[in-house]
Amino acid sequence: MPTEQENIENWRKIAIPFVQHLGIDIARMAEGRCELRLDVRPEHLNSFGVLHGGAIMTLLDVSLAGAARSVQPDMGVVTIEMKTTFMQPARGPVSGHGRLMHRTGRMAFVEGTLEDAEGRVCAHATGTFKYMPRAESTPTD
């Protein structure tokens, strides 16, 4: 099983331009768990002045994927399905927490939450991910 530091280093090497554009950063990734953080900027907001649902879903999607990958970082994962429930408005900074619930040789079943700075759960997601061989990618600047 890879160490948390190895997982974090591997995650940072993978080029995911949209995630980098949003400013999502990794806090932890080990043993079926992943925590990502986002400092909310004005361009992340909706017309009500709170974090846009698309940004919430992206943070959750990547957190869930990170939890699945944390136990097998040599493989990539692709989202097969994801269900998100929005519970209350999210204001920044926020964190996404993914937890691997079950896995088979090819599939991962994951759940996660998005929390605000006070630890309030603002959204919950469940997802199914498929493990895929990772093609070599080049980090972007």
12-66 pLDDT, tens digit per residue, is 888 789 999 999 999 999 999 999 999 999 999 999 999 999 999 999 999 999 9
pTM score: 0.91
pLDDT at position 10 is: 84
- Based on the number of CB atoms within 10 Å of its own CB, is 121 exposed (0-12), middle (13-18) or buried (19 or more)? middle
- Using a pLDDT cut of 70, give the percent of the chain over it: 95
Q: What pLDDT does residue 136 have?
A: 61
Query: What's the pLDDT band for 8 if we cut at 50, 70, 90?
Result: confident
Amino acid at 133: P
